[in-house]
Structure 1
Amino acid sequence: MKLGKVLLLTAAVLGAAGSLSVTDVQAKTGYQRTKNLAVKPKAFYSTSKHGATYQANGSLTNFKFKKNHALTHYRDSTWVATSKTYIKMHGKHRLYYYVHNSDGKAKGWVWSGYLKAGKHNQMRHEESKQVGNYVMAKPGKLYQFGGGYRTKGFNPFNIRFKHGIKLSDKVTYKRTQLWTVYKHGKASKYYYVTSSDNQVKGWVWHGFLKPGEVKEAAKKPAPAVTKPSGGTSNNQSNIGGVVVNSKPTTPDQKPNLENWTTDDGKRERVVVDYFELTNYLNKGGSYNNAVSVVMESKFVNGKYIKQRQTLTNITSELVGNDAYSMHRQIFATIDGKKTPVNGYLKDPILLNGDAIYNDSDDDYFVSVREPERFKHYDIDQQDAYITEVPVWYQYSVQDNDYSVWRFNLKTNQWDKTQSHVADVVIH
């Protein structure tokens, strides 16, 4: 009986299909789907670390998946859906959207279950010509928007929060722009501000500021200006018929000491913001705890050859021939010799056990110690420890490699997910 059914099925296939062979039937292992249906463009974002987009591959009755983009690489993007289809899988019809991301570089079909409605990392200009003065209402940070306003190739549909700097209650912030910023589907007002001391400018959430002004100390007298008497000293220049001081008359004002700048070996280990460390050094601060740094030393055949160095006694000094060409240079003691650090500190690791927090495109921690198992370390992402999984890279000085820790949202603790990863990319 079974053999008869097989023979009948084979005959039917050969007779009805003509040129279609048995091999073709056996190769039909895809899924069925409906025709593409255009939809009004709709914005989505994804927090998935496992999903993907797929290229259309096959016919309506034999659709096969061909992965082209992992969603985990686009969690900072907005996806725009323009078409939809239903794919029959395991007896159920699942909705798929055809999407492209905000910069148009990635596109494909994606299961609707991986998407959440709303814009993410986008901004919209608000018509407001009001210019006002503000002061800090509560602690917060001011950011630059990578890929966004005031950057080369400005794209309001593809911004990144970068270089977070703590607000100060000692300066006035002048607001000149008002924009709406979308993060994970939520709209918030952000101000573009400049501090009264001209040290920082960037974007800040409006709730961190309130109208007002800080009464600042009396300004220092201007440099002495005298009429020329036939010549100038080494520290003066003849500009426009008057002599002005051309070199600083007072030393640099050192930045305030942070709790991480000194270490007696007994204090609690702390998290140091990467940009606070670099800003502290650039303002003339010094740091005497050893830092292991990956230096981009050579560019060979289109690639950087990286060299790791351990730096101690890091300082920042003004160098240059005169006041108009001076710039800050970071120096460090390497093998007992004071040496200029070429470029900038890249992927620093504090060897005293403090952790570095870097809030660049992908937020992460770096330390020679493992994270405290249940601790929520301060992080800028609003959804951290809720839907976003923080990452902690533990550096081994002896092996010159990393172990990777990720925060488990179910058990609410840090889990080691990888060990001895020599070439881990942490940014």
Structure 2
Amino acid sequence: MLFSIRWWALLFPMLMLSGCGQSESPPLDQQLYIWQRQWTPDHKHALRDSRADFSTLRVLALQSFPQAGWSRARIDPDLLRQDGRPLIAVIRLDGQLKSLDPHDVTAQVQQLINDWQRQGLTLAGVEIDHDAGIARLPDYRRLLTELREVLPASMPLSITALPAWLNSSELPALLSAVDSSVLQVHAVSDPQKGLFHVEQAKKWTQAWSRITLKPFYLALPAYGVALLPASNGRPVVESEVPIERDGERRELLADPQQLRDLALALRDNPPAHLAGLIWFRLPLANDRRAWSLTTLRAVARGEVLESQLGLQVTEHEGLFDISLVNRGNLDSPWPARLTLGASACDGADALAGYALQQTQDLLTFSRLRNGRIAADGQRAIGWARCSKIDQGALHVDP
């Protein structure tokens, strides 16, 4: 009996520790949308650097617009084959289409699958992205039902879904026609109210989890847009593609800290049927309205977010190149003002975005317009030909 008591005294703490370890919530699956219509060499680096943190790629593959008809995204199949992650082809049906022809849509999707397979790409699923109004959900369900019947049984079918559909009695039937759904909780209402509202997103997520009986994902924003004035009073939204239009641009950007906190909360207490998060969109090096990949990865990992701004000065034969650097994991707005100690300067100037004021022993760079410096990135702001630059006399104003 004494041996049994001693054995239990040793075993009990081990069981408690084991139980504590098992109670920790596993990380949610995290995926990426690739939404560029024209692939560039930058995709190679973005795919490589995103592999460790995002399990699956949802790739914009095919679009249908009023008047314009069908168009394919110009992907790079070689890069996707080399990447090797599961692929889901996204077919975008514009919300302004007057009607949906199930036979036409089905034929286009089947042709896409065949073409991708001939290029050596194995699809893990098909996603239909259609911002249907509530009144058109019955027609949309019929299209999805027909598409589900002609797709191979092994080919999962998903849809991008809108929170507005929560008000429709058609929603359960619609969800029963597909294998999973992707609830879009960003940029779904008046863009003037912002891209994302964290408390509203939580409410929509909880409501969706109570209705669906199948896995669902959340589509979360990792980007920004600009609002431009329009003659009819409604703003024009500029995103990846610049719009040739005069007028002041109002920049909106999803807050990485808010999204990090939401992702951690969902991981620790996931609603029923929530299968993971999908981030929109894979950022490229020249994507000025997306978070940097460094920031996106930090948010996905739940890291503490911090910008670490400073100046980097390099010298060659008395000519100093002056750059703003961000050694943190959080993208940062350009600082309003930077001052740098300098002496015996024969000449100096600022580069685009900043103006220079020079005194006897000080260079002051003042911001002329807004911009962001990527996490782990740098940007040249000026040059100076001086006998000495005193980096110890640096001051940065936010």
Above 0.5 in TM-score?
no
Higher relative contact order (CA 8 A, sep 6+): 2
TM-score grouping bracket, smaller chain normalisation? under 0.3
Higher strand share: 1
Return the TM-score normalized by structure 1.
0.25
Q: What is the TM-score of this pair, normalised by structure 2?
A: 0.27
The structure with more radius of gyration: 1
